[in-house]
Amino acid sequence: MFEIEGVIYADYDIDPRDRSMDIRLSEVLRPDLTFRYEYDFGTTTDIDLYVFGEVKAPLRRDGISIIGQNDLPESQFICEICGERPAKHINPYRIRLVCDACYDEHYKGDMKYEVLPLVNSPRAGVCGYEGSRVDPGEYRVRG
Ligand SMILES: [Zn+2]
């Protein structure tokens, strides 16, 4: 669900004032606009977004073009067991962030199922999310 300038755009039908998500972003977004996105109403991930500018990208046959992507800030997340090494895993049930060495040392047998890879997404550690199986580079605009 998107909330853009006070209007809800959703793919469900719970309020007659809501509008369909079947609309081009170019019709509702403009540079310097702040808007909000909610994903999954069970374990909701709420994201505030800002439109920095407009980019003309070639239209692909499948309709998807990735024109920008953030890099995972590796050094920002430190293991919460040793407090030294970069975290590579996330445990949503116990200690949240775990490095490779602490994972090997502390997570044995069935405990391995409690831990998910720390992926480059606001959904990391949420609802069993392990990242995309699709290579984002496949959709990246080149040239
Ligand atoms: Zn560690």
Same domain, 79 and 142: yes
Determine the Cα–Cα distance for residues 113 and 101; give it in Å rounded to an integer. 17
Same domain, 38 and 91: no
How far is ligand 1, taken at its centre, from the CA of residue 68, in Å?
A: 31
How far is ligand 1, taken at its centre, from the CA of residue 118, in Å?
A: 13
Q: What is the pTM of this model?
A: 0.72
- The domain of 16 spans 2-50
Decide if 136 is inside a domain: yes
Decide if 60 is inside a domain: no
pLDDT at 138: 67
Same domain, 41 and 89: no
Same domain, 37 and 80: no
How far is ligand 1, taken at its centre, from the CA of residue 126, in Å?
A: 21
Number of domains into which the chain is organized: 2
User: pLDDT per residue over 6-60, tens digit each?
Assistant: 999 998 767 888 899 899 888 999 999 999 999 988 889 999 999 999 888 777 7
How far is ligand 1, taken at its centre, from the CA of residue 103, in Å?
A: 7
Residue 92 pLDDT grade (very low, low, confident, very high; cuts 50, 70, 90): confident
Determine the Cα–Cα distance for residues 126 and 45; give it in Å rounded to an integer. 8
